[in-house]
Structure 1
Amino acid sequence: MELTLFLVIIGFLFVLLSATPFLLRRTIAFGVTIPEGHTDDPTIASFKKIYAATIFITGLISLIAYFTLANTSSLTEEKIILTGLAIQFGIIFLSMGLYFYFHAKTTRLKQLNEWGLHLKQVRIADLAIRTKDEMLPSFLYALPMIITIGLIAYTATQYSSMPSMIPTHWGPSGQADAFSPKTPFSVIALLLILLVMQGMMLGINAFTKKSGIKLNAAKRKTSQIQQLSFRKYTSWLLFMISVLMTVLLGFLQLTTIHEGLGSAVLMLALPLGFSLIVLITTAIYAFKVGQSGSRINVDIEDDSIAGITDVDDDKYWKAGIFYVNKDDSSIFVEKRFGVGWTINFANPIGYIILFGPLLLILAITFFL
């Protein structure tokens, strides 16, 4: 079970990371703004191919070696898990190293060729575009929270009949492998963690909805459709994950209240099914939508305008990853490398939304 799970995760990881440069907007390469007219530069194309090939080949070799080692050696469950984690972190560190290397080379290439120097920088503002935004309303994210609060109330009514030792951790096999003595706090700790994560997702959706919508100055109509689609599908993906978490952790809570509710097969299948659904859905989202909706085909004739380009805001992106702009009211902004959103590190509210829940979860687990 552990081996299968790690093989799936490692395969997903190196395929997604190797594809990342091709999932981004054409006007962004390794965190650097590339003006229209230079997006097909052969040197940048070679950077992307080298990055992708290195990650993919390394990941594939690691996956084969991991599978072979696990099947030819008498590795313990602990060693299988540790080896799998080591491979995952190794692939991530390799991708980070390659990213910073090619970020520096792309920045240098842009400076040497003076890309965008003779183009007029334009920032497009469409005041009516928010009326077309189809991101999910925040009240939908509150529905899983209501279910969790209901489970907390139900747990309180069943407190006296619950076992003296409460599960606090479940292994890859779906069976509990860590316990804590029964207290009014420990019996609802899992639900409190779930409630915090649900609240975090609600906050991310709400503040992402208020974030700025950046349109391509040279391809306004196309970028508008892609941007709106990207925001809609991101919102749905986040909501789906919130619902799946509620189902998984809610079921684990019910098995704690009613011992014997879940069979061994079900306890194994549920977390595995959760992981597979999330991974597959995320992969479909990344490859079908792409960052900023860049992979969504738009069958429309755009009024391409020559001689202009988007405002170059590279100065606000530290290493092309960390966005720091105190003049931007947006709390969340689109990533420059990867698919999704990151915070504006100059806005303290972003820290509260992301790191506040993490600190709460750590506090809950500490007091168990």
Structure 2
Amino acid sequence: MSLAIFFVIIVFLAAIQTAIPFLTKRTIVFGVTVPEKYIEDEQIISYKKRYAILVFLISAIALGAYAIWAITSKPTEELIVLAGTVIQFGIIFISMSLYFYFHGKISQLKRSPRFAKNLKQVQITDLTMRSQDTMLPSYVYFLPIIITIGMIGYTISQYSILPEQIPTHWGPNGQADAFTAKTPFSVITLPLILLIMQVMFLGMHIGTKKSGIKLSATHTNASRNRQLTLRKNTSWLMFLISLLLTMLFSFLQFSTIHPNLISDFVMFLVPIVFLIVVLVGTILFALKVGRADKQLPADIEGDITDFDEDSYWKGGLFYFNKNDPSIFVEKRFGVGWTLNLANPLGYVILIMPIIIILLISFL
């Protein structure tokens, strides 16, 4: 079963990595701002196609070799998991290597005289955008938090019937394969970690809700549609993942308290359903946002281009802008958000919860 799980994950990863150049903003190509009048340039289109073909072929070969090896060699579950993990990181490494290669190509192409000839940079603002924003209200993120606090209280009330060995890890088959001694702290470690993750999701939601809304000077309507679609669907996706994590962790906690009430089949099935729903939700999110600015025509024709912020993006991936109060900004390669590394609040929202989770895990 581990083979099937990793096979699905690798297919999903390969599909997303292959499609990324076609899902980013219209005027951003491999992390570089390209004037609207040149986004259909044959050279640029060929770079996108070459990236997609190479990532697809390499991923397909790796996936085929992985399946053949697992079926013919009959390796152990540990080896299947290890090989599947290596392939995932391998696909990411290869796709990012290709990204940096084509990022350099586009940067070089952009420096040619014809790309900057007689183009005026324009930056626009729409003061009515906030009123059109349909992101979820922040209070809905308190629902999973309330459920988790209730689970912590229930666990404490059932302390006397808990087993002497508390599960700390579950394998691909849904069965616990690592344990720790029962203590007042260890019995609530899992819901505590979940609670910290939920607070992090709430912080990310607030950060994205307060982030700046950047519009294109030449494709104002298309960029407005993308921004509104991105913000709305991001809030729904984060809430869905937070809720699903709450259900999964609560289920695992409940199975620890009442192990005889849950069959092995259910223990196996629940994580699979969780994985499938998250993957499908992520794919739908990427496709919906990625296509949001591709259907509408240009609003303005002429010798203008969007304000060039390439100097704030290191390698087209890492954003440093002290003048931008936004904590999160839209990614330049991929679909979603990335951190404004010049804003210290972002480190508090993302880094601090991870440090706390690691401390709880080690304790």
Band the TM-score falls in, shorter-chain normalisation: over 0.9
Indicate whether 1:357 and 2:353 are aligned: yes
Task: Report 1:289-304 matches (<5 A).
Answer: 289-290=289-290, 293-295=292-294, 297-298=295-296, 303-304=299-300
List per-residue Cα deviations over 1:63-91 (Å, max 9, x = no partner): 11111110101211111111111111111
Distance 2:231 2:44 in 1: 28
How far is the alpha carbon of 1:307 from its aligned partner? 2.0
Alignment correspondent of 2:219 = 219
- Measure the CA separation in 2 of the matches of 1:53 and 1:16: 13
How far did residue 61 of structure 1 move? 1.0
**Structure 1 moving runs of 4+ over 3 Å:** none
Unaligned runs of 5+ in 2: none
Contact 2:121 2:307 (C-alpha < 8 Å) held by counterparts: yes
Deviation at 1:280, TM superposition (A): 1.1
Q: Which amino acid aligns with 1:294?
A: D
**For residue 155 of structure 1, what is the aligned residue in structure 2?**
155
**Distance in 2 (alpha carbons) for counterparts of 1:115 and 1:352:** 40
Partners in 2 of 1:303 and 1:334 — Cα distance? 22
| Mean CA deviation greater in 146-155 or 255-264 | 255-264
Give matches, 1:226-265, under 5 Å. Answer: 226-265=226-265
Aligned equivalent of 2:331: 335
Q: Aligned with 1:121: secondary structure?
A: strand
Q: Distance in 1 between matches of 2:117 and 2:40?
A: 18
Match of 1:317?
A: 313
C-alpha deviations, 1:125-165, integer Å up to 9, x for none? Answer: 11121011001111101110010001101111111111111
- Give the secondary-structure state (helix, strand or coil) at the position aligned to 1:134: coil
Question: Cα 1:116–1:142, aligned 2, differ >3 Å: closer, same or farther?
Answer: farther
Alignment correspondent of 1:141? 141
In structure 1, what is the Cα distance between the partners aligned to 2:33 and 2:81? 40
Residue 171 of structure 1 aligns with an amino acid whose one-letter code is G
1:79-118 correspondence runs (5 A): 79-118=79-118
In 1, are the aligned partners of 2:222 and 2:293 still within 8 Å (CA)? no
One-letter identity of the residue aligned with 2:357:
I
1:271 is matched with which residue?
A: 271
- Cα separation, 2, equivalents of 1:251 and 1:222: 42
On the 8 A contact 1:30/1:106 being kept in 2, the answer is yes
Partner deviation per Cα, 1:23-82 (whole Å, 9 max, x = no partner): 111200000000110011111111111111011011111111111110101211111111
Structure 1 residue 182: Cα displacement: 0.6
Separation (CA, whole Å) in 1 of partners of 2:164 and 2:224 = 57
Task: Kindly provide the CA deviation profile for residues 174-215 of structure 1, in whole angstroms up to 9, marking residues without a partner as x.
Answer: 000000101111000000110111111110010100001011
Q: 1:288 Cα shift? A: 2.4
- Per-residue displacement from partner, 1:94-153 (whole Å, max 9, x unpaired)? 011101111011000000145234212111111121011001111101110010001101
- RMSD over aligned CA atoms reads 1.2
Pairs aligned (count): 363
2:211 maps to a residue whose letter is: S
For residues 314-354 of structure 1, the C-alpha deviation after alignment (integer angstroms, 9 at most, x for no partner) is 00000000000001100100000011000001111111111
Give unpaired runs (5+ residues) of structure 1.
none
1:326 aligns with 2:322: yes
Amino acid at match of 2:230: F
Q: TM-score, normalised by structure 2?
A: 0.97
In structure 1, distance between residues paired with 2:81 and 2:94: 20
Q: Aligned letter for 2:71?
A: N
| Identity score, percent | 55
Mapped contact 1:23–1:294 kept (Cα < 8 A): no
SS at match of 2:169: strand
The separation in 2 between residues aligned to 1:105 and 1:115, in whole angstroms, is: 14
CA distance in 1: counterparts of 2:349 and 2:321, whole angstroms: 18
User: SS at the partner of 1:260?
Assistant: helix
- Residue 3 of structure 1: CA displacement? 0.4
- Report the CA distance shift for 1:361/1:117 in structure 2 as closer, same or farther (over 3 A): farther
Counterpart residue type for residue 233 of structure 2: Y
For 1:16 and 1:294, the matched residues in 2 are separated by 18
Report the CA distance between 1:262 and its aligned residue: 1.6
What's the counterpart of residue 127 of structure 1? 127
Residue 198 of structure 1 aligns to a residue whose secondary structure is helix
For each residue in 1:267-295, what CA deviation from the matched residue of structure 2 results, as whole angstroms up to 9, or x when unmatched?
1110011001111111111122218x335
CA deviation after TM superposition for structure 1 residue 251, in Å: 0.6
SS at 2:35 equivalent: coil
- How big is each residue's C-alpha offset from its partner over 1:219-251, in whole Å with a ceiling of 9 and x where there is no partner? 222321221122101110111001100000011
